[in-house]
Homo-oligomer: A and B are copies of this chain.
Amino acid sequence: MEPVKVGLLGLGTVGGGTVTVLSRNAAEIARRAGRGIEISHAAARDYDPERIQGLEAIGRIGSDAFAVVEDPEVQIVVELIGGYSPALELVLRAIENGKHVVTANKALIARHGNEIFAAARERGVMVGFEAAVAGGIPIIKALREGLAANHIEWIAGIINGTGNFILTEMRDKGRDFADVLAEAQALGYAEADPTFDVEGIDAAHKLTILSSLAFGVPLQFERCFTEGISKVGALDVAYAAELGYRIKHLGITRRSEDGIELRVHPTLIPERRLIANVDGVMNAVLVKGDAVGPTLYYGAGAGALPTASAVVADLVDVTRALTTDPNNRVPHLAFQPDELADTPVMPMEAVQTAYYLRLAALDQPGVMARIASILGEQGISIEAIKQKEPEEGQTHVPLVMLTHRVIERQMNEAIARIEALDSVQGEVTRIRMETLSG
């Protein structure tokens, strides 16, 4: 059978990795897919031919991405440019031309996925985006197909390798956030502008996609609550460890009676949980289904070859499904497009979690009782409270508390009242806490 012809947009890290994987494993991939998969036309503005293995197998390399999506020979367009523009225009034009699309662009899918999938449905083409979440881990396939029998209850994922690397180093070496971030930038694990990673925006893009797949709702990135790790202190990491917890930057989405929780924030989790032991740049996603119980998926969440692994898996999927009646294909968001639900995404104020609180209080009789009574008045029960040794020369001592679960609105009020006390110095550090047990 004739090889499938692929048009490739972008020859950066992931684009180069895709060329390498398709060339290095060409024979094995064809044995799986039933036919060869060839890049017949690629476009890149700027790339280093010396650093990409397998480049010689590409039919034609130009600099005009629009020429690729207009190329009549191309059956599948692989978009690896990133960003919103011109990626969106290119993807929509490819679909309009009746071409299938594979992309690793999480920002594009999280923000414009609803529009892209509607266009694809209209034209009867497929859009693969396995590489958009957790790199090479086949988590989209797991949610969309492997767990299709389940009522998914919640998902918790470590889905940003940079953030996890920083938190792991902070714990292992007792170092501060800024210090580790600088090292991560030197090692190439973090971008020069680390905002997307450390402020949780990248994780929010990915979580938005996972949430839609799990719960059958449209993509709603703009409703995702996002808090980064820049305010997590070395002290908090150490105190959490003393209490038997690790701090991870988790994306959490959960179905509750009031709607869907969609939130990215630093989270204390019990150190016995497998996901608490996922360290360094690795990713892991924990999914709780009503039938299967908890399942976990672990692997490299970024990098040239791991991400290419997911891109090429999508290419094999599209190749295998080329002859399928479009109405019978696996739906983009796991549920059939006319079966999406309008379950609302809840505001963070309405979400219930447990909390770790740290504050600096005057070491005087009655202070702890005053704080505890504020919490009590707000309906918050305390699971543990620990007064630490004061640092030399300090008039205030660190006070660390774990609370039971409570609505975030109550906690916001409690924190405001505590911060207003004369005996309390500065702000209350608040890190949410989850048991991830069911």
Residues of A within 8 A of B (CB): 17, 21-22, 24-25, 28-34, 130, 135-138, 141-142, 144-151, 216, 274, 277-278, 289-300, 305-306, 308-313, 315-317, 320-325, 327-331, 334-336, 339
Contact = CB atoms under 8 A, between A and B. Distances in A.
A302 B327 CA distance: 34
A335 B31 contact: yes
Contacts of A136: 147, 289, 291-293, 295
B328 A306 contact: no
Nearest to A334: B32
A31 B343 CA distance: 15
Contacts of A311: 149
Given A32-B331, A145-B317, A293-B299, 9 more contacts: A25-B151, A34-B327, A34-B331, A130-B146, A135-B292, A138-B146, A292-B299, A295-B300, A296-B296
Contacts of A300: 292-295
A300 B339 CA distance: 29
The 7 closest A-B pairs by CB, nearest first: A138-B146, A149-B312, A295-B299, A136-B292, A31-B339, A292-B309, A323-B325
A31 B336 CA distance: 6
B25 A313 contact: no
Nearest to A152: B28
Contacts of A315: 149
Contact of A293 (B149, B277, B306, B335): B306
Contacts of A327: 34
Contacts of A34: 327-328, 331, 336
A82 to B, nearest CB: 20
Contacts of A294: 299-300
Contacts of A316: 145, 148-149
Interface centre among A135, A147, A305 (most CB of B within 10 A): A147
B335 A148 contact: no
B313 A320 contact: no
Nearest to A305: B291
Contacts of A21: 149-150, 291
Contacts of A290: 24-25, 305
Contacts of A295: 136-138, 297-300
A136 to B, nearest CB: 3
Contacts of A321: 324, 328
A328 B322 contact: yes
Contacts of A144: 32
Contacts of A148: 29, 32-33, 312-313, 316-317
A149 B318 CA distance: 13
A296 B299 contact: yes
Nearest to A325: B323
7 contacts: A17-B291, A29-B149, A34-B331, A148-B316, A289-B309, A295-B299, A323-B328
A231 to B, nearest CB: 28
Nearest to A273: B277
Contacts of A146: 130, 138, 141-142, 310, 313
A239 to B, nearest CB: 24
Contacts of A336: 31-32, 34
Given A32-B335, A142-B146, A309-B147, A298 B299 contact: no
Given A25-B291, A331-B32, A313 B138 contact: no
A235 to B, nearest CB: 26
A247 B328 CA distance: 46
Nearest to A341: B31
A292 B79 CA distance: 19
A155 B228 CA distance: 36
A277 B277 CA distance: 9
Nearest to A32: B148
Contact of A150 (B25, B289, B297): B25
A331 B312 CA distance: 17
A309 B315 CA distance: 27
A305 B288 CA distance: 13
A309 B292 CA distance: 6
Contacts of A298: 274, 295-298
